[in-house]
Structures are given as C-alpha cells and as structure tokens.
Structure 1
Amino acid sequence: MSLLTPLLRSGAVTDLFTDEQVVQGMLEFEAALARAQAQCEVIPATAVTPIVDACHFQNIDFPSLAVAGANAGNLAIPLVKQLTLAVKTQSPDAARYVHWGATSQDAIDSGLVLQLRAALTQTQSDLSSLIAILAQQTERHRATLMPGRTWMQHALPITFGLKLAGTLDALLRWQERLTQMRKRVLVLQFGGAAGTLASLKEKGPQVAEELAKILKLGLADTPWHSQRDRLLEVGAWYAGLCGTLAKFANDFSLLMQTEVAEVSEPIIEGRGGSSAMPHKRNPVGCAAILTAAQRTPGLMATLYASQIQQHERALGGWQAEWEVLPELISLVGGVMAQSNTIVRGMQVNPHKMRANLDITHGLIMAESVTLALAAFVGKADAHHQIEKCCHQAIDQQRPLLALLQNDPQIAQYLSAAELAQLLDPATALGSSDHFVRQVLARYKEQCHEHSLPD
C-alpha cells in the first residue's frame, strides 16, 4: 500500500524500516560479530575483512531471500547462506566463520535494535521540533479567549494558549520517557542456539561484551530471546504519543466544524478539498492522525499477546512482531509529521472564539455570578436563583445580564456594574495564565536538560 505512505506514514522514520534497512541491520550484526570474535581470538583475524566487505545489502538477492525465507521461517537463515557464498568468492577459509556461534534470532533481533536506535534518534529530533513549534503557539495565544467545553458543551472561558499548553505538557512528559527508555531497550541480543552461548565455550561473555561495544549497544544481563518487554515498551511509547496527538487532532477537527469555525488547518494547495463541493476545507491532517490512532490499539494488542512466548525460543509470537512494530512506529512517525504541519501553520480565529463565547447570551458566566451571590445567601440558594434566571434566559431568548439586573433578590446584593464585570469572560480565567507559564517554564528547562545522543 505504498500509495498511502505519503498520507499515513510521512515521517522520516518510515525510511528506516525498508527491506534494505532490515537486511543491512542483520548484516551489521554479522560484520560486528566477526570483528568481536577475532578480537577475542575465537576466529582468525584474516577472516574479518572478507566477511565485513561482504556485509552490504547490495550483495543480497532480495527476491531469492524472500522465497527462501518463506521456507526457512525467517530471513536470517537464507541471508546467512547468501552472505557465506559472497564471502566464499573472496576467501573460502573466511566463509567458514560467517555467523560463528550465533543463531538466527540474534541477527534478527540485534538488527531490529539497530533500526530502533535510528528510529528513536529520529523521533527525538522530530518530537523536539514539534514541541518547539507548539511552545511558540502556546505563548502566542496565552490571552486568546475561547469557550471551554465539557461534555461537548460550553463550560467556562479558557484561553487557546491553555488548551495548547495541555498538549505541550503531555509531549514534554513523552520526551522525558523517551530519554529514559533508550538505555533499557537499546541492548544487544546474543545468546546462541538456546541462550547459553555454549558454542563459544568460556569465550561467550567476552565476545558478547566486545560485540556490544562495537555495535554501541547495551549488554543485557541475559539473552532476551523470549522476553519481549523491551519491544512492548517501545510500542507502548509510540502508541501513547499517538494517543496524545490524536486527542489534539480530535479537538482541532471539532473546532474546525462550520458552526464553530475557531481554527483551521493550514491553507496548502490541493489540501482539504472535496471532489464534489468546492467550498470544503476538510481537516485532512487530523483525519490522517485519527486514522493512525484507530489502528494503534490493534497493533499494540499484537505486541502484548506476543509476550507469551514458549520456553527459550518461540514460534508465532516472535514472528508476529516483525511487521507490527515497524508499522506502528511508521504510523506514529506520520502522526508527528502531520501534527507538525498543523501546529506550524494553523489558522486561529480569535474573533470567532469571542463571538462563540456570547452565543449563550452570558450563560457561560453563570458560575461566576453564583459564587459572588453565594457570599451573601449561601451556595445552594445562589445556585437555585441563578439557575432559574438561566432557564428564563433560554426560554425567553434574552441576555442573562438583563434578567439578573431585574431580579430583586440578586440586585440587592450585586450592582449592575458588578454583574457586568462578573459576566465578562476575561475576568473568569482563574489560574489559566499561571498554568501556561508553568508549562512554558518547564519547556525551557527541558530544552537545557535534553540533547540528542551521539
């Protein structure tokens, strides 16, 4: 379905999970294995160069690899055969030491970890860029009044900056989790046939340590052939990030409805049009984000089910991860790219936001009057009195202010000027700006704390 890749998987991480990258990851493991074993005097030093020189995906026949992989049950077995033949053309003696002491899962898992390292690094960069743009928009709209909405209805006034700050706050937490996660998940897989490295005898730990050093990966305390929590954690991180950005996209698309019209996606040639209705400006970026969010739970369910693996090496659960995790990461990479486009170029209509605050003729500010009146008559009586006025305002289609001013039980405590001030949305923002300032301060602090790894 490559035709849909620009819509659903437009992030840079997609290019890290091509067939070529999958194969190259395994070949990098094989090249590093030869170097490590020669360093530990397990194989002759003369075998290293022929093996390393052959470890390039251009030397592999991909159609033959695919066919043979179907019969072998994985790609590593026929890949090692092709690699061995390629080495043999240069050095028959070196060919004897290809894949020495390793098992197919060592090559596949370690190759995947190398891809994950590149993906996490790219994701850190993409997330930092998105966070920076969102912080700018949050600052820009700190004082932009709009209706807050609960249960899909007007609640109390908020600022658009506060709404954006909620997303920014969550993204800063995902950034923290990403940094913490790298050390746990970017570890070598090297255990041999049954996770004991028995074929390397007493040299097993030494080779493993050297191999991890060459690949610049962490060294696990035990091989993790059938312990898949690391991959589950990676998937859960991407799924969680997708959830945060999908919540943003869902809210944004609701604010784009014709009757609301408070925001809009960027105006880009050919974007958001309809084949039938020339007036349409559809939230296509939001749709792409929400499409990924619809698929994420199913992909995560597969990763979760794959935790149940049999004994020391599994069948079924391990293989189910091969396409699922890259697909999940690619989809969320697309979500980040779409979010970046929306946040960077979003159109905000403060005048429509202000007008929408007035469509209930002041009802959105009823709580402010209730609290002010409660100081004189108590919360229950105040609530009852203001609620009665609200119902009259709805039934008679009159401004709430006029009804409040003409109510003798209210007028004896609150003057017309006081009521007008209480019904002004700008006076009822509470701690909105305080919360926005806290998030922006945390953003600036985190900018200094986190930098991309080497």
Structure 2
Amino acid sequence: MNKASDIEQPLLNATQYFSDQTRWQSWLDVEATLALSQAEMGMIPQEAGMEIALHSNLNSVNVEKLRLKINQTMAPVFALSECLADVCGKSGAYVHWGATTQNIVETGRLLVLKQVQRHIFQNLSQVILQLSTLAEQHAGLVMVGRTNRQNALPITFGFKIAGWIDELIRLADQLKEVEPRLFQLRFGGAIGGYHSLGADGVRLSELMAARLGLHLSLVPNRTSVDPLIEYITKLSMIGVASARISDELFLLMTEEIAEVSEIFDENVVGSSTMPHKVNPKYVVDLGAMSMQLRAKAGAALAVPSPSHEADAVTNRLLTQLIAETCPMAINVLEKLYKTIAAIAPNRSKMQENFLKSREMMATEGVMMRLAETVGRSHAHDIMHGLVDKAKRDNVSLYEIIMQNEEIVAALGAETLNKMLCTDGNIGQCEAIALQAAAAGREVANKIII
C-alpha cells in the first residue's frame, strides 16, 4: 500500500472498516510493505520481496484455512504469516522477517484509520456545505434570540446556523491537527528496540513510513497509547457538535415555539394512540446517537496505562473502543446530514413569536441610545422600571415608553417609533451568517482534498 492507493480506495460501509476481511487485508498490506522495504535494503532477496508483495492479498491467501488456523493457534498474525508463507513458495521463508504481532496489528490499524478519517472528512464536508447553504438562504430571516431559554434579542436563523458551522469548522481543525501524532509508524520489533533488526531498523522504518504515508515515531515502542486515546476523544467531539444541533432543533420544535419542523412523508405516524401528534423523529435519533458517541471520550480516558513494555489488556480495550467509536462517528455525521435535510423553518411562526416580544427585545437598543444622554446605569434603571410597569399593569410597553418625556426628549418620537415598531436591531447577524457560510465552504472544500 502507498499514498496513492490509500487515496484511491473506495469508502466502505461504516461497519466494514473493522471486519475480519478489512483487518486481515491491512495486515497483508503491512507484510507487503515490510518485504518490499527489506528487499530494497538487501535484508531479504529482491525476488522474495516481490513474491511476498504479489501474494499479500486475500485473493491469494486461503481465507478458510486462515480462519481455521486463527482458531487453532489463537494467534491471528502468526496464522496469517503462515498462510501467506504457504503461497509464496521458497520466498515464504522471508515472510514477517524481524517483525512482531503488534507491529503488524498497530500499523494495519493505522492504515484502516486513514480510510476512516477520509470517510469522516467527506461526511463532515457534506454537512458543513449543507449548513453553509442554509445560512446563506436564511441570513436575514428574523427570529427571537434566546438566552437561558428566555426571549432576549432579535437574531436571524442564519446567525443561529452560523454558530453550528463555526463549531464544525473547529471540529475539522481538531481532527486534522491530531493526524501527525496519530499516524506514526512504530515498527521496533518484539519490544520496540530493533533487537532483531539491529542498526538497519531505523532505515527500514523510514522506508516503510514513506511507502505507507505515515510519520516516523521518535521511539518505536509498544506502549504509546495516547494517540489513540486522543483520537477517540476527538471523534467524541462529533457527538458534542451534533448533540448541540439536535438539542436546539428539538427545542425549536416544541409547540410553544414551533419555529422549525421536520418534513415527513404523509405515511409517517406520530403516535400510536394520539392521532393529532406528529412527534419529531430525526432529531430524536440524532440526539440519542450523539450522546452515545460523546460518552466514548470518558471510556477512552478510563483506559488503564500499559504496564512495562507491552500490555495486551490495554491493547484489547483500545482495539474494541476504536472499533466501536469510528463507525459511530461516521453514522452520526450521516444522520446529522439527513436530519438537516429534513428541517424546514416556519417563517410565519418566527414572525409571530418575534412580534409578541418585539417591544421588550428593543429595550436594550433604546437603553443604549438613552445612555448617551443620561449614562448607562441610569438608562438601565429607567427602562427596567418601565418594563416592570408594563408587565405589572398588563399594558403596552410601547405606550409607556412614548409617554416618558425624558426618553422622548433624548431620542425623539420618530427614532423611538422606528426602534420599537420595525423588525428590530439584529446587529451584524446577517453579515455574520454570510461570513460563516463562506468560511464553511472554504473549509468543506479543503478537508476533502
């Protein structure tokens, strides 16, 4: 395997990355690279290296024999190297030369994770592009902005989406930034000190790393588990980001707000007993999947440190966690894409909710303009008192403000009327939405190259 073939391989179904066939083929790819690199260095005959590489695929190896041998020996890499040697004739004597099981397993896993990473970036790119389009479309769609689940100030739907884009851009940065530490070749032999390879070990690792598109580790030991733990935590951040989106959408779907809804086929049923109900479907599934993925970070951080120079228990735990977390991350992004595709904003409800709170949400703007004359603290006290009076007496805040001589004298009736009766002050929400959409497109196109 080399950098070119690594890119050209088709994406698999999420669960296939950790199937027996994929795992065994990754080991064979490592055995082929090992043999070719050793042949280049003269450690084994040239013809042996070429013969081993030629047969290092599951079409050449007897898979049923391999499976049987694994069950008999309980040593999968040993069984694979024996089956590979059987089909290589005299060259079989040079299969697995100087390597140990974990060298093959860990390196093969890195090759699989490179494909997983490519799949994740493709899915993430699609989601960011999808959100960027929505942010552009709804950059100016005014809605109520809420803090602590209370109406606060007017924003736009595009501005809300911009926040999601921003988080996913940071997520893409985190996933990319981890690669130099994750994709490091550690091929130091039985205990990590090149005991069976001697002085040629470092040069062999350099050749193999170049062929496989990996970085070379400083210490080729068998106890460097922190890159895998870090990677699992980064994948868990996909769950954090997608949970935020699903949670926000879920809240906006409540009947009291009803500003977004899911688009369903007419055959979809909301409740088995209440015909009038149309329960959210996509966001519920997405939320549950996201929380499961997010929890993997805790599991990764709980993995015990390896003892001495190798620890099979730690390796087994990490192998299982990786095999669970990677498909989950891919599936969460796919579910996120489908969820966003099924979401539609309710423009009329957004306008209705905005109009109900328009006067209240304008008070900050009025206060800041008034502060230019009387100072911010006094302006806050005046506006807070008027809001309390409007709520207590159940009267129009607009009328109370327009009757206040101090405010009218400071701002003017025309200015006040404009501030209290228009679509309100949305600040730079529309511009921010458009900026986030442009940034999202740039990142989305970059991470799939």
- Report the TM range for the smaller structure's normalisation: 0.7 to 0.9
Counterpart selection for 1:261 from 250, 258, 261:
258
Cα deviation for residue 25 of structure 1 reads: 1.4
Q: Does 1:88 align with 2:91?
A: no
Q: Where does residue 25 of structure 1 map in the other structure?
A: 26
Which one-letter code corresponds to 1:39 in the other structure?
E
> 1:195-232: CA deviations, max 9, x gaps?
01211223212222222233232222221421122222
Residue pair 2:30, 2:104 contacting (<8 A) in 1 also: yes
Contact 1:365 1:425 in 2 (8 A): no
Report the Cα distance in structure 2 between the residues aligned to 1:361 and 1:196, rounded to whole angstroms.
71
- Write the distance in 1 (CA, Å) between the matches of 2:279 and 2:126: 25
Distance 1:292 1:405 in 2: 52
Q: Secondary structure at the match of 2:146?
A: strand
Distance in 2 between residues matched to 1:404 and 1:303, nearest whole Å:
57
The separation in 2 between residues aligned to 1:16 and 1:441, in whole angstroms, is 33
Residues 137 and 164, structure 1, Cα contact 8 Å, conserved in 2: yes
Measure the CA separation in 2 of the matches of 1:12 and 1:128. Answer: 18
Q: Which of residues 286, 290, 309 in structure 2 aligns to 1:289?
A: 286
Counterparts of 1:12 and 1:271 in 2: how far apart (Å)? 27
RMSD: 2.8
Aligned equivalents of 1:188 and 1:266: distance in 2? 48
Alignment partner of 1:381 is 2:383: no
Alpha-carbon distance between aligned partners in 1 of 2:442 and 2:100, rounded to the nearest angstrom:
45
**Shift of the alpha carbon at 1:143?**
0.4
Contact 1:60 1:83 (C-alpha < 8 Å) held by counterparts: no
Greater CA drift, 52-61 or 152-161: 52-61
- Name 2:231's counterpart in structure 1: 234
List alignment gaps of at least 5 residues for structure 2. Answer: 1-11
Structure 1 residue matching 2:216: 3-state secondary structure: coil
Letter paired with 1:130: V
> Is residue 35 from structure 1 mapped to residue 36 from structure 2 by the alignment?
yes
SS for the counterpart of 2:153 is strand
Secondary structure at the counterpart of residue 96 of structure 1: helix
- Cα distance, 1:82 vs structure 2: 4.2
Give yes or no for contact 1:32–1:214 (8 Å, CA) kept in 2.
yes
Aligned to 2:334: 337
SS in 2 for 1:137: helix
| Distance 1:99-1:348 versus aligned 2 partners, 3 A rule | same
- Give how far 1:237 is off: 2.1
Could you list the per-position Cα deviations for residues 303-361 of structure 1 after superposition, in whole angstroms to 9, with x for gaps in the alignment? Answer: 22337222221232221111212322222212211221222342011211111112346
- TM-score, length basis structure 1: 0.86
2:324 aligned counterpart, secondary structure: helix
Aligned-pair CA distance for 1:121 = 1.2
Asked whether the 8 Å contact 2:243–2:291 carries over to 1, the reply is no
What's 2:9 paired with?
A: none
Change (3 A) 1:452 1:414: closer
Structure 1 residue ranges without an equivalent (≥5) = 1-10
Work out which of the residue numbers 135, 138, 141 in structure 1 matches 2:138: 141
Hey, what does 2:8 align to over in structure 1?
none
- 1:59-85: CA deviations, max 9, x gaps? 3347647745xx84xxxx234224414
Question: Contact between 2:159 and 2:430, CA under 8 Å: does it hold in 1?
Answer: yes
Q: Any conservation in 1 of the 2:128–2:168 contact (CA below 8 Å)?
A: yes
2:180 is matched with 183
TM-score by length of 2: 0.87
What is the identity percentage for the equivalent residue pairs of Structure 1 and Structure 2?
A: 28
Matched, 1:219 2:222: no
Aligned residue identity for 1:121: R
SS in 1 for 2:356: coil
CA–CA distance in structure 2, aligned partners of residues 282 and 329 of structure 1? 30
Aligned-partner Cα distance in 2 for 1:21–1:236: 24
Shift of 1:162: 0.7
Q: State the secondary structure of the residue aligned to 1:362.
A: helix
Q: Does 1:106 align with 2:103?
A: yes
In the other structure, the counterpart of 2:46 is 45
Alignment of structure 1 residues 122-141 onto 2, 5 Å: 122-141=119-138
Report 1:285-324 matches (<5 A): 285-306=282-303, 308-324=305-321
Task: Tell me which amino acid in the other structure corresponds to 1:273.
Answer: G
- Are the counterparts in 2 of residues 302 and 321 from structure 1 also a CA contact under 8 Å? no
AA aligned opposite 2:321: V
SS of aligned partner of 1:201 = coil
Q: Does residue 1:60 correspond to 2:58, yes or no?
A: no
CA contact (8 A) 1:146 1:354 kept: yes
SS at match of 1:232: helix
Which segment is superposed worse, 292-301 or 96-105? 292-301
Instruction: Return the offset for 1:38.
Output: 2.3
Q: Give the distance between the partners of 1:275 and 1:98, measured in 2 at CA.
A: 62
CA distance in 1, matches of 2:51, 2:435: 58
